[in-house]
Amino acid sequence: MSQHGEVWVYAEVDDGAIAGVSLELLGKGRELAGILGVPLAAVILGSGTRPLAEQLIAYGADIVYSADDERLAQYTTLPFSRVLTDLIREKKPEIVLYGATPVGRDLAPRVASALKTGLTADCTDLQIGSYESAGRLYQKKLLQIRPAWGGNIIATIVSPDVLPEMATVREGVMHAPDPVEGRTGTIIDVPVVLDSECDFVRVIERHTQPRRVDLRSASIIVAGGYGMGSKENFQLVHELAAVLGGAVGASRAAVDAGFIHADHQVGQTGTTVRPKLYIACGISGAVQHRAGMEESAKIIAINTDPEAPIFQVAHYGIIGDVRDVIPRLIKAFKGKL
Ligand X SMILES: Cc1cc2nc3c(=O)[nH]c(=O)nc-3n(C[C@H](O)[C@H](O)[C@H](O)COP(=O)(O)OP(=O)(O)OC[C@H]3O[C@@H](n4cnc5c(N)ncnc54)[C@H](O)[C@@H]3O)c2cc1C
Instruction: Compute the chain's Rg from CA coordinates.
Output: 22
Shortest gap between Cβ of 122 and ligand X (angstroms)? 11
Residue 128 touches ligand X, criterion: CB under 6 A = no
Interface segment toward ligand X; rule CB under 6 A; list 35-43, 53-61, 199-207, 321-329: 321-329
3-class secondary structure for the chain? Answer: CCCCCCEEEEECEECCEECHHHHHHHHHHHHHHHHHCCCEEEEEEECCCHHHHHHHHHCCCCEEEEEECHHHCCCCHHHHHHHHHHHHHHHCCCEEEEECCHHHHHHHHHHHHHHCCCCEEEECEEEEEEEEECCEEEEEEEEEEEEECCCCEEEEECCCCCCCEEEEECCCCCCCCCCCCCCCCEEEECCCCCCHHHCCCCCCCCCCCCCCCCCCCCCEEEEECHHHCCHHHHHHHHHHHHHHCCEEEECHHHHHCCCCCHHHEECCCCECCCCCEEEEECCCCCHHHHCCCCCCCEEEEEECCCCCCHHHHCCEEEECCHHHHHHHHHHHHHHHC
* Cβ 152 to ligand X shortest distance, Å: 8
Among 57, 253, 299, 314, binds ligand X (CB under 6 A): 253
For residue 36, the number of C-alpha atoms closer than 13 Å in the C-beta half-sphere is 26
Q: Quick one: 81 or 288, whose CB is closer to ligand X?
A: 288
- Examine residue 322 and tell whether it contacts ligand X (CB under 6 A): yes
Binding mask 199-238 for ligand X (x = CB under 6 A): --------------------------xxx-x---------
Scanning residues 105 to 124, which ones bind ligand X (CB under 6 A)?
none
Among the listed residues 64, 218, 254, 300, the single contact to ligand X using CB under 6 A: 254
- Cβ proximity to ligand X: between 92 and 238 the closer is 238
Q: Is 247 in the site for ligand X (CB under 6 A)?
A: no
- Of the candidates 284, 299, 300, 314, which one interacts with ligand X according to CB under 6 A? 284
335: left (phi over 0), alpha (psi -120 to 50) or beta: alpha
Check binding of 151 to ligand X (CB under 6 A): yes
Q: Which of the ranges 56-64, 79-87, 179-187, 266-274 carries the binding residues for ligand X, by CB under 6 A?
A: 266-274
Told to check if 270 binds ligand X by CB under 6 A, we report: yes
**Does 26 contact ligand X by CB under 6 A?**
no
| Region from 65-73, 134-142, 194-202, 301-309 binding ligand X, contact rule CB under 6 A | 301-309
Q: In the set 129, 150, 245, 327, which binds ligand X (CB under 6 A)? A: 150
Which is closer to ligand X, CB of 144 or CB of 251?
Answer: 251
Stretch that binds ligand X, among 17-25, 43-51, 57-65, 316-324 (CB under 6 A): 316-324
Residue type, 253: A
Total chain residues near ligand X (CB under 6 A): 30
Residues lying near ligand X in the complex (CB under 6 A): 150-151, 225-227, 229, 251-254, 265, 267-270, 282-284, 286, 288-289, 292, 302-305, 308, 321-323
